Structure 1
Amino acid sequence: MTTAEPRTQGPYTAPHFATSALITIDVQRDFLSDAPYGVPGTTEILPALRRTVSAYRAAGRPVVHIVRLYEDGGGNADLVRRQLLESGVRIAAPGTAGSELAEGLPPEGAPGLDPELLLAGRPQRLGAYDHAVFKPRWGAFHRTCLEELLGRLGVDTLVFAGCNLPNCPRASIVQASERDFRVALVRDAVSRVTDSALTELAGIGVEILDTAALEGKLAEVAARAD
Structure 2
Amino acid sequence: MTTTEPDPHPQDLYTAPRFEASALVTVDVQRDFLSEAPYGVPGTTEILPALRRTAAAFRAAGRPVVHVVRLYEEGGGNADLVRRRLLESGVRIAAPGTPGSQLADGLLPEGTPDLDPALLLSGRPQRLGPYDHAVFKPRWGAFYRTCLEELLTELGVDTLVFAGCNLPNCPRAGIIQASERDYRVALVRDAVSRVTDSALSELAGIGVEILDTATLEGRLAEPTARAD
Which range, TM-score by smaller chain? over 0.9
Show the counterpart of 1:189. Answer: 191
Show the counterpart of 2:13. Answer: 11
How many residues are treated as equivalent by the alignment?
220
TM-score by length of 2: 0.94
Show the counterpart of 1:140. Answer: 142
| Alpha-carbon distance in structure 2 between the residues aligned to 1:78 and 1:155 | 28
Query: Which secondary structure does the structure 1 equivalent of 2:141 belong to?
Result: coil
Amino acid of the residue matched to residue 147 of structure 1?
Answer: E
2:47 paired with 1:45: yes
1:30-179 counterparts in 2 under 5 A? 30-179=32-181
Query: Which secondary structure does the structure 2 equivalent of 1:24 belong to?
Result: strand
| Alpha-carbon distance in structure 2 between the residues aligned to 1:9 and 1:111 | 39
| Alpha-carbon distance in structure 2 between the residues aligned to 1:52 and 1:42 | 15
Q: Is the 8 A contact 1:107 1:126 kept in 2?
A: no
Per-residue CA distance 1:106-127 (angstroms, 9 max, x = gap): 1221100000000000000000
Amino acid of the residue matched to residue 71 of structure 1?
Answer: E
Q: Which protein is bigger by CA-based radius of gyration?
A: 2
Show the counterpart of 1:4. Answer: none
Shift of the 201–159 alpha-carbon distance from structure 1 to 2, 3 Å rule, reads same
Shift of the 48–224 alpha-carbon distance from structure 1 to 2, 3 Å rule, reads closer
Per-residue CA distance 1:141-191 (angstroms, 9 max, x = gap): 000000000000000000000001000000000000000000000000000
Which of 23, 26, 31 is the aligned partner of 1:21? 23
Q: Is the 8 A contact 1:15 1:157 kept in 2?
A: yes
List structure 1 segments (4+ residues) > 3 angstroms apart after TM superposition: 221-226
TM-score by length of 1: 0.95
Q: Is the 8 A contact 2:20 2:227 kept in 1?
A: no
Query: Which secondary structure does the structure 2 equivalent of 1:22 belong to?
Result: strand
Shift of the 99–214 alpha-carbon distance from structure 1 to 2, 3 Å rule, reads same
Percentage of identical aligned residues: 84
Which residues of structure 2 form unaligned runs of 5+?
A: 1-8
Amino acid of the residue matched to residue 187 of structure 1?
Answer: R
| Alpha-carbon distance in structure 2 between the residues aligned to 1:57 and 1:224 | 10
1:135 Cα deviation from its structure 2 partner? 0.1
Q: Say what the alpha-carbon RMSD is for the aligned residues.
A: 1.3
Amino acid of the residue matched to residue 165 of structure 1?
Answer: L
Amino acid of the residue matched to residue 11 of structure 2?
Answer: Q
